[in-house]
Structure 1
Amino acid sequence: MRQGLQDKVVLITGTGAGMGREAALQFAAAGAIVVGCDLDEEANKQTVAEVEAAGGKMDGQAPVDLGDSAEATAWVERAAREHGRIDVVYNNASAARFAPVASMSDEDWRFTLRNELDLVFYVTRAAWPHLAERGGVIINIASVAAHRGNPHVPILAHTATKGGVVAMTRQLAAEGAPHGIRAVSISPGTIETPGTAATLADPAVQAGLLSQTLAARLGVPTDVVSLALYLAGDEAGFLTGIDFLVDGGMTAF
């Protein structure tokens, strides 16, 4: 059992699949009470079923549109009301649209801002007073895209939003310190999830991404979640305001 997570209330966004589902499973296995949400009701139900089958505790709610300020706030307040506290906020959920700069529409740009940056702000703002009661932890999922461009995939809006998440995390750490709140971000490289499946289905794109990594493979959800589990625990108490790259060496050269 990881030190400090037993019976802690951990809010995880985007628990319907991929890294969010893996996070729900691992945090529940560590003894936390997981409060998850997703847009996809059936997928989120499946995650709850898997957590409970493994002996964990999960309160799942769907559909929840975290890009809507009122829905995000209602989800957080419900969690605080029903569980009496919030100890960790794990901002995992995101959705982006990719297009070259010259052809990206206003709609696609704003969709990406809404679903990769706004929702982190809405959830964190709502949870802030609850985290401050005991001193909590915020874990934001950013991306290697915050640190480098990509010649194989047109990710302009994604680079802007994830760069914003990294910068936001530093400021949250600064504002949270007087309240005992730690804030960290994780920047994954290419992770094999249902969300990246369509992109990785192109052999040329996959080969290009592999050529940019020192590891001889792409990432998998547990590569990211295992670090998040550590960062949420007492052992990481001296870590705040930092972005952690989990990219297979992509930014090493």
Structure 2
Amino acid sequence: MSGRLEGKVALVTGVGSGIGQGIALRFAAEGAFVLGCDIDEDRAKRTAEQGVEVLAPIDLTDPSDVRRFVQAADERYGRADILVNAAAIEPHMAPVDEMDFEEQWRPTIAGEVDLVFLACREAWPLLKAAGNASVINFASVNSFRASRQMAMVAHCAGKGAVLSMTRQLAVEGGPYGIRANTIAPGMVQTSATAAAGALRGPKAEALIARTLVGRLGVPDDIAWCAVYLASDEARWVTGANFSIDGGVTAA
């Protein structure tokens, strides 16, 4: 099957690398008009070279930048059918008694919660006008379970907030035909998780051992779920969470 998103207009954040890039490229391959954004101009350029229109730099924790991104979609296409909030700022990992409030806690919450709220707020009028729209946000395995490998109190709080916020978005969007769902990925192989040291050594071995399929994820594993949620195949799916984690939360 191809062309599952034919003619739909999709806003995708964080398209410079990782999951956001994988979703943007997969959506384009399925026929969507994709407008992406990223804070990193160099990474954005590499994605643009693969055929996706990208605005950069866009700081999604800055309301004026978010407004500029959404206005660009309105000017180019006059509507938005899909919003994918794939961007996130790398969370600070520290035990609760060592975490600095201003330098670690606040930036993590802003980078995982505020940017989702701001993008949804700005895009909401376009999504309402579309009448059959889809919002896809990102929770995490750590919305449901804690970690013995890493100290991540702020990350767990942020992703738990996104999960709850998305359920409320589904309630508020229902009368306007806006569906809102979350994807909760397990450990996915990206440049960010590599930089965090999660893809090698004992830490990676422990993460793989928790899966039921014996491997870590790749961006396309997540992108295919996003294609489904963005498509008309999921027109009766809202307020739901999809754990795409190799079975980690099942065991």
Distance 1:45 1:67 in 2: 21
Q: Which amino acid aligns with 1:239?
A: V
TM superposition score normalised by structure 1:
0.95
* 1:27 paired to 2:24: no
TM superposition score normalised by structure 2:
0.95
1:184 is aligned, of 175, 181, 185, to 181
* 1:97 paired to 2:115: no
Q: Which amino acid aligns with 2:96?
A: V
**Structure 1, unaligned stretches of length 5 or more?**
53-57
Q: How does 1:214-225 map to 2 (within 5 A)?
A: 214-225=212-223
Q: Residue by residue, what CA displacement relative to the aligned partner does 1:136-190 show, whole Å, maximum 9, x if unpaired?
A: 1100011111000000011111100100111011000000000000000000001
Distance 2:199 2:92 in 1: 17
Where 2:192 maps in the other structure, the secondary structure is coil
Distance 2:199 2:99 in 1: 22
Runs of 4+ in 1 over 4 A off after TM superposition: none
* 1:229 paired to 2:227: yes
Q: Paired residue for 2:241?
A: 243
Q: Paired residue for 1:203?
A: 201
Q: How does 1:159-178 map to 2 (within 5 A)?
A: 159-178=156-175
Q: Paired residue for 1:120?
A: 116
Contact 2:85 2:138 in 1 (8 A): yes
Q: Residue by residue, what CA displacement relative to the aligned partner does 1:87-146 show, whole Å, maximum 9, x if unpaired?
A: 100000002111111111111110111111000000000000110012211000111110
Q: Paired residue for 1:55?
A: none
Contact 2:190 2:218 in 1 (8 A): yes
**Identity over the aligned pairs, expressed in percent?**
45
Contact 1:166 1:185 in 2 (8 A): yes
Contact 1:2 1:233 in 2 (8 A): no
Q: Which amino acid aligns with 2:139?
A: A
Q: C-alpha displacement at 1:2, in angstroms? A: 3.4
Q: Paired residue for 2:138?
A: 141
Distance 2:72 2:47 in 1: 19
Q: Which amino acid aligns with 1:141?
A: F
Distance 1:231 1:201 in 2: 28
Q: Mean Cα displacement is larger for which, 105-114 or 205-214?
A: 205-214
Where 1:102 maps in the other structure, the secondary structure is coil
Q: Residue by residue, what CA displacement relative to the aligned partner does 1:172-212 show, whole Å, maximum 9, x if unpaired?
A: 00000000000000000010101100222551211121122
Q: Paired residue for 2:106?
A: 110
Q: How many residues align?
A: 246
Distance 1:246 1:85 in 2: 29
Q: C-alpha displacement at 1:71, in angstroms? A: 1.0
Contact 1:38 1:61 in 2 (8 A): yes
Distance 2:47 2:53 in 1: 10
* 1:2 paired to 2:23: no
Q: Paired residue for 2:39?
A: 39
Q: Which amino acid aligns with 2:112?
A: E
Where 1:101 maps in the other structure, the secondary structure is coil
Distance 1:212 1:137 in 2: 31
**Structure 2, unaligned stretches of length 5 or more?**
none
